[in-house]
């Protein structure tokens, strides 16, 4: 009786589960070692599948890395989509998005590391992904809708740009994770305590809301 390969049998029974397991583990390895330092052998050893199955699903290491990027961006976009913004005023909706982004980045440091790695590679993989481009368009569309509602009510300034606003939100949330090691080494870790992070999140929300505020006040 021929010997059954366990990874092949697992893939037959739960192909999506195997694929997700590979992506989760590969994302961790890429975040730890970078694109050039990551090894498919190590990824296979840390999953419940084989190197051959990794190549079957993703083609090669570059294809696997690109899929990890797409999954990482999908996670943050799915989290944004799940936010219940219905019935909220524009400023309350924006505050919820800022708080979500800050918390998501803090809770998913591997996402930040993957983005940093992709920046090292001049976004060469990201720019070839139609999936990521489409996903991020939805984020801009959501902000654009909130901006327009706020402007119609006269509570948001008239010169807001959704891409620029997205940049400001991302910057406040990204730096908190990307520079944690150096900032902690220079100034201590108090700002990264639970209380410190809650305070920073509240400040990020306040800064964004003050930035978008119409200095002339609501229309009368």
Work out the pLDDT band at 10, boundaries 50, 70, 90: low
Contact between residue 187 and residue 128 where contact means Cβ atoms under 8 Å apart: no
How many angstroms separate the Cα of 28 from the Cα of each of 25, 34, 48, 116, 220? Answer: 5, 10, 15, 14, 53
Separation CA 114–CA 75 (nearest Å): 13
Please state the three-class secondary structure of 79-116 as a single string. HHHCCCCCCCCHHHHHHHHHHHHHHHHHHCHHHHHHHH
**CA angle (134, 138, 143) in 5-degree steps:** 145
pLDDT for res 13: 60
CA atoms within 13 A on the CB side of 26: 32
Burial class (CB in 10 A: 0-12, 13-18, 19+), 60: exposed
How many angstroms separate the Cα of 18 from the Cα of each of 25, 96, 99, 160? Answer: 11, 34, 33, 44
For residue 36, count other CB atoms closer than 10 A to its CB. 9
The structure's pTM equals: 0.88
Which tens digit of pLDDT belongs to each residue from 77-124?
999 989 989 889 999 999 999 999 999 999 999 999 999 999 999 999
pLDDT for res 4: 40
Work out the pLDDT band at 149, boundaries 50, 70, 90: very high
**What domains, with CATH codes, occur in the chain?**
1-59 (1.10.10), 69-212 (1.10.357.10)
- At which residue do the structure tokens 């902000």 appear? 143
Which tens digit of pLDDT belongs to each residue from 20-49?
999 999 999 999 999 999 999 999 999 978
pLDDT at 1 over 60: no
Separation CA 110–CA 17 (nearest Å): 20
With the C-alpha atoms ordered 73, 74, 75, 81, is the resulting torsion angle positive or negative? positive
Q: Which two tokens stand for residue 208?
A: 């964004």
């Amino acid at each position: 009786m021929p010997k059954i390969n366990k990874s092949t049998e697992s893939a037959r029974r739960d192909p999506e589960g195997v694929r997700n397991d590979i992506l989760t583990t590969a994302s961790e390895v890429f975040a730890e070692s970078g694109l050039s330092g990551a090894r498919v052998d190590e990824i296979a050893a840390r999953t419940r599948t084989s190197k051959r199955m990794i190549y079957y699903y993703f083609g090669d290491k570059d294809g696997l890395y690109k899929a990890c990027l797409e999954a990482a961006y999908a996670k943050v976009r799915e989290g944004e989509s799940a936010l219940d913004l219905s019935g909220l005023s524009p400023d309350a909706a924006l505050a919820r998005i800022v708080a979500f982004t800050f918390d998501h980045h803090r809770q998913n440091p591997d996402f930040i590391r993957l983005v940093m790695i992709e920046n090292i590679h001049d976004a060469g993989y990201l720019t070839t992904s139609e999936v990521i481009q489409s996903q991020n368009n939805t984020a801009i569309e959501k902000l654009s809708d909130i901006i327009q509602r706020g402007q119609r009510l006269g509570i948001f300034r008239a010169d807001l740009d959704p891409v620029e606003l997205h940049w400001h939100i991302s910057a406040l949330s990204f730096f908190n994770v990307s520079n944690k090691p150096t900032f902690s080494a220079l100034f201590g870790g108090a700002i990264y305590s639970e209380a410190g992070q809650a305070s920073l999140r509240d400040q990020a929300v306040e800064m964004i809301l003050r930035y978008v505020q119409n200095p002339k006040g609501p229309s009368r």
